[in-house]
Amino acid sequence: MLEQLRAIVGDKGLITDPGEMEPWITDWRQRRRGQALCVVSPATTAEVSAVVALCAAEGQPVFPVGGNTGLCFGAVPESDRQGKIGVVLSLRRLNRIRAVDQATGIATVDAGVVLGDLHEAAVRAGRQFPLHLGSEGSAQIGGLISTNAGGTGVVRYGPMRDLVAGLEIVLADGRVLCDLAGLRKDNTGYMLRHLFIGAEGTLGIITGAALRLHPQTPNTAHAWVSVVDPAAAVSLLTALQGRAGSYIQAFELVSASQFELVRRHEERVRIPFAEIPAWSLLIELGSEDATTALNGILEEVLGAALESGGIIDAIMAASEQQAADFWHVRHSVSEANKKEGIGIVHDVAVRTSDAAAFIAAADKVAAERFPQAVTQVVCHLGDGNVHYILMFQREFWNSLADEDAFALEVERAIHDAAAVFEGTFSAEHGVGRKLTQELERLADPLRYELMGRVKALFDPQNLMNPGVLLTAKAV
């Protein structure tokens, strides 16, 4: 098997040394470790096809990996079959930007292209690729599509799904399904590509993509706003949507407890408020037109909300530097939380109109069942995505008999609170290996059954990233 793989990808494309394989079989936070026969890195779609066909013939599991930046262990190679350890398939050598078509607004790229490199290529063409997240310096396009990545810009541009105009996929039998024409309109039957977006590598290997570019929006306005409560934040969002909805590029709600941790742990962050508000919002508007008075629009909407009592205070960014400082607060959340203690982060989404009620319900559950926790909210309110966090001090955590069981108990309680509002427990992070049991528990049984049948249709041997997304029982 190894020699056959070497014949396909050459020496440069094969790692078999256990020490060298280590970073490929461990998730980046080093919380979970798998094992692999080898790491194979094809340099072309044809090589991916040959590798996958070989694995299919040998009944060998294939574990695809992009930048290994996921949060749900979807890229950790864990085989559930006796004696079938499997092959890690890295897309890193498939890293060409194949074409940028300015008139059509499409970039066609290999799956292994790093997001930051795509950002630069888009800017060189006078456009932008509007997906932004913390790991953009290492996250790869294929992984971002396979997990339907989100971020703060979803309110304007949608998640990765909305930015994909075509895919090239190596199917479980090695055949290549190519749909890279990049057409905006195509009504010739079932749109299969959407099955692979967010499938976390369980239906096939994405090797290329046609991606939508957007105009740049150099004109921006920013405000940090102190709001009475989450309901007032939703009212402000609704008003802003009516006045300038398509200009909203971020609408981020942060609780005082979260803001406080940033102040405590991130000394270089400039806090815009003298006193940290109970709830605050970071708002960004943007336009490609320099003459549109975005600050004026924002002041007008905030002024009306101040009068009606929904908001308490608002600070507008007076310069690009101040806008960057505003974002620095928001972007410091993860680091601050890491320093504080053990945070159980949830990736819930509900309808925006239910966000305030969900937060209240989660607070109630947390206070009753987990009084040891301080709760924090970081919420992409514009798209209803609430990262509800229970923060535990290390001392308490270390006193637990079984941390994993406790964490699961916390997660289930918050997921149940979301389910009351028809909310999801996985808004933008995916399911991976972390949440397969939760998916089985919470998914509509009919939908879950159909997912199993779709999996069986595209991957009858269950060799594509087995153990991710669906439990062994479901496939």
Q: Is 20 in the site for its own copies (CB under 8 A)?
A: no
**Binder among 259, 388, 406, 425 for its own copies (CB under 8 A):** 425
Question: Which among 13-21, 48-56, 145-153, 321-329 is the span making contact with its own copies, rule CB under 8 A?
Answer: 145-153
Burial class (CB in 10 A: 0-12, 13-18, 19+), 96: middle
Supply the minimum distance, in Å, between the C-beta of residue 177 and its own copies: 6
- CA torsion sign, 195 to 200 to 204 to 206? positive
Member of 12, 19, 82, 187 binding its own copies (CB under 8 A): 187
Tokens read off for 468: 């991710």
Site for its own copies in 212-271 (CB under 8 A): 214-217, 234-235, 237-238, 241-247
In degrees to the nearest 10, what's the CA dihedral of 339, 344, 349, 354? Answer: -100
Per CB under 8 A, does 192 bind its own copies? yes
When the beta carbons of 82 and 187 are compared against its own copies, the nearer one is: 187
For its own copies, the closer CB: 95 or 104: 104
Give the contact letters, 289-328, x = binds to its own copies (CB under 8 A), - = no.
x-xxx--xx-------------------------------
Return the range that interacts with its own copies (CB under 8 A); candidates 17-25, 134-142, 316-324, 426-434.
Answer: 426-434
If one asks whether residue 469 binds its own copies (CB under 8 A), the answer comes out as yes
Q: How far is the CB of 21 from its own copies (least distance, A)?
A: 29
Q: Of residues 327-386, which lie at the interface with its own copies (CB under 8 A)?
A: 349-354, 380, 383-385
Least distance in angstroms from the C-beta of 129 to its own copies: 14
Measured from the CB atom, the residue of 97 and 183 that comes closer to its own copies is 183
Q: 184 vs 268, which CB is nearer to its own copies? A: 184
Query: Of the listed pieces 272-280, 370-378, 392-400, 446-454, which binds its own copies according to CB under 8 A?
Result: 446-454
Minimum gap (Å) between residue 326 Cβ and its own copies: 22
Q: Applying CB under 8 A, which of residues 288, 320, 403, 409 lies at the interface with its own copies?
A: 288
Residues 22-51 that bind its own copies (CB under 8 A): none
Encoded one letter per residue, x for contact with its own copies by CB under 8 A and - for no contact, window 76-105 reads -------------------------xxxxx
- In angstroms, give the least distance from the CB of 270 to its own copies: 30
**Total site size for its own copies, rule CB under 8 A:** 99
CB under 8 A: which stretch of 133-141, 188-196, 271-279, 333-341 binds its own copies?
A: 188-196
CB of 339 to its own copies, least distance (A): 28
CA distances from 459 to 454, 463, 466 (A): 8, 7, 10
The three-state DSSP-derived secondary structure of the chain is CHHHHHHHHCHHHEECCHHHHHHHHECCCCCCECCCCEEECCCCHHHHHHHHHHHHHHCCCEEEECCCCCCCCCCCCCCCCCCCCCEEEECCCCCCEEEEECCCCEEEEECCCEHHHHHHHHHHCCEECCCCCCCCCCCEHHHHHHCCCCCCCHHHHCCHHHHEEEEEEEECCCCEEEECCCCCCCCCCCCCHHHHCCCCCCCEEEEEEEEECEECCCEEEEEEEEECCHHHHHHHHHHHHHHHHHHEEEEEEEEHHHHHHHHHHCCCCCCCCCCCCCEEEEEEEEECCCCCCHHHHHHHHHHHHHHHCCEEEEEECCCHHHHHHHHHHHHCHHHHHHHHCEEEECEEECCHHHHHHHHHHHHHHHHHHCCCCEEEEEEEHHHCEEEEEEEECHHHHHCCCCHHHHHHHHHHHHHHHHHCCCCECECCCCCCCCCHHHHHHHCCHHHHHHHHHHHHHHCCCCCECCCCCCCHHHC
Query: Does the footprint of its own copies cover residue 123 (CB under 8 A)?
Result: no
**Residue of 13, 61, 182, 310 that binds its own copies (CB under 8 A):** 182
CB of 303 to its own copies, least distance (A): 15
Which of 182/310 has CB closer to its own copies?
A: 182
Choose between 114 and 236: whose C-beta lies nearer to its own copies.
236
Q: Which stretch binds its own copies (CB under 8 A): 156-164, 256-264, 333-341, 369-377?
A: 156-164
